Amino acid sequence: MFDVIVLGAGASGLMLAAQAAKRGRSVLVLEKANKVGKKILMSGGGKCNFTNLDVEHHHYLCHNPHFVKSALSRYTQWDFIGLVCEHGIEYEERKHGQLFTINGSKDILNMLLKECEQPNITIKTQAEVKAVKQMPQGFEITTQQETLTCTSFVVASGGLSIPTLGGSGIGYDIAKQFGHHIFPTRAGLVPFTFSDQFKEITTRLSGNALNVTLSNQHTAFNEAMLFTHRGLSGPSALQLSNYWQAGTAININFFPSTDINLVLKQKKVQQPKVLLRTIVNEMTTKAITVELQNLIWQSEAETPIGQLSDQRIEQIATQLHEFSIKPSGTEGYRTAEVTLGGVDTKEVSSKTMESTRVKGLFFIGEVLDVTGHLGGYNFQWAWASAVAAAEYV
Ligand X SMILES: Cc1cc2nc3c(=O)[nH]c(=O)nc-3n(C[C@H](O)[C@H](O)[C@H](O)COP(=O)(O)OP(=O)(O)OC[C@H]3O[C@@H](n4cnc5c(N)ncnc54)[C@H](O)[C@@H]3O)c2cc1C
Q: For residues 13 and 360, which CB has a smaller minimum distance to ligand X in the complex?
A: 13
Helices (H), the chain: 11-22, 38-42, 67-74, 77-86, 106-115, 170-177, 197-205, 235-241, 260-270, 276-281, 286-296, 310-321, 377-390
**49 touches ligand X (CB under 6 A):** yes
Q: Which position among 379, 383, 389, 393 is part of the footprint of ligand X (CB under 6 A)?
A: 379
Q: Which residues pair with 226 in a beta bridge?
A: 209, 233
Smallest distance, Å, CB 267 to ligand X? Answer: 42
Q: Which position among 3, 4, 5, 9 is part of the footprint of ligand X (CB under 6 A)?
A: 9
Smallest distance, Å, CB 273 to ligand X? Answer: 50
Q: Beta strands 27-30 and 2-7: pairing type? A: parallel
Q: Is 320 helix (H, G, I), strand (E, B) or coil?
A: helix
Longest CA span, the chain: 85
Smallest distance, Å, CB 40 to ligand X? Answer: 6
Q: Which position among 188, 231, 341, 365 is part of the footprint of ligand X (CB under 6 A)?
A: 365
Report how many residues bind ligand X under the rule CB under 6 A.
39
Q: Which position among 21, 276, 382, 384 is part of the footprint of ligand X (CB under 6 A)?
A: 382
Give the span between the Cα atoms of 320 and 326, in whole angstroms.
Answer: 16
Q: Find how far residue 182's CA is from the centre of its chain.
A: 19
Smallest distance, Å, CB 305 to ligand X? Answer: 45
**12 touches ligand X (CB under 6 A):** yes
Give the span between the Cα atoms of 254 and 175, in whole angstroms.
Answer: 44
Nearest-CB residue for ligand X: 10
**283 touches ligand X (CB under 6 A):** no
Inter-residue contact 225 to 232 (CB < 8 Å): yes
- Taking only Cα atoms into account, the Rg of the chain, rounded to an integer number of angstroms, comes to 25
The set of residues, in sequence order, having a beta carbon less than 8 Å from that of 257 and lying 6+ positions away, is 211
For residue 154, what are the CA distances in angstroms to 141, 151, 219, 254, 293? Answer: 11, 10, 34, 46, 55
Residues in the chain, overall count: 393
Q: Is 188 helix (H, G, I), strand (E, B) or coil?
A: strand
Q: Which one of the spans 84-92, 164-172, 237-245, 340-348 is the region binding ligand X (CB under 6 A)?
A: 164-172
Q: For residues 123 and 276, which CB has a smaller minimum distance to ligand X in the complex?
A: 123
**17 touches ligand X (CB under 6 A):** no
Angle 74-78-82 from CA coordinates, rounded to 5°: 115
* Binders in 24-43 for ligand X, by CB under 6 A: 30-33, 38-39, 42-43
**77 touches ligand X (CB under 6 A):** no
Q: Find how far residue 47's CA is from the centre of its chain.
A: 15
* Binders in 327-356 for ligand X, by CB under 6 A: 337-338
Single out the residue of 91, 118, 97 nearest to residue 22, CA to CA.
118
Q: Is 67 helix (H, G, I), strand (E, B) or coil?
A: helix
Q: Which one of the spans 44-52, 56-64, 67-75, 223-231 is the region binding ligand X (CB under 6 A)?
A: 44-52
* Binders in 168-197 for ligand X, by CB under 6 A: 168, 170
**8 touches ligand X (CB under 6 A):** yes
* Binders in 98-157 for ligand X, by CB under 6 A: 128-129, 156-157
Q: Which position among 308, 327, 376, 383 is part of the footprint of ligand X (CB under 6 A)?
A: 376
Give the span between the Cα atoms of 260 and 321, in whole angstroms.
Answer: 8
Q: Which position among 4, 5, 7, 17 is part of the footprint of ligand X (CB under 6 A)?
A: 7
**62 touches ligand X (CB under 6 A):** no
Q: Which one of the spans 5-13, 65-73, 214-222, 236-244 is the region binding ligand X (CB under 6 A)?
A: 5-13
Q: Is 69 helix (H, G, I), strand (E, B) or coil?
A: helix
Q: Determine if residue 96 is left, alpha or beta; phi over 0 gives left, psi from -120 to 50 gives alpha, anything else beta.
A: left
Q: Which position among 4, 19, 158, 353 is part of the footprint of ligand X (CB under 6 A)?
A: 158
Residues near ligand X (CB under 6 A): 7-13, 30-33, 38-39, 42-44, 48-49, 128-129, 156-158, 161-162, 165-166, 168, 170, 337-338, 365-367, 376-379, 382
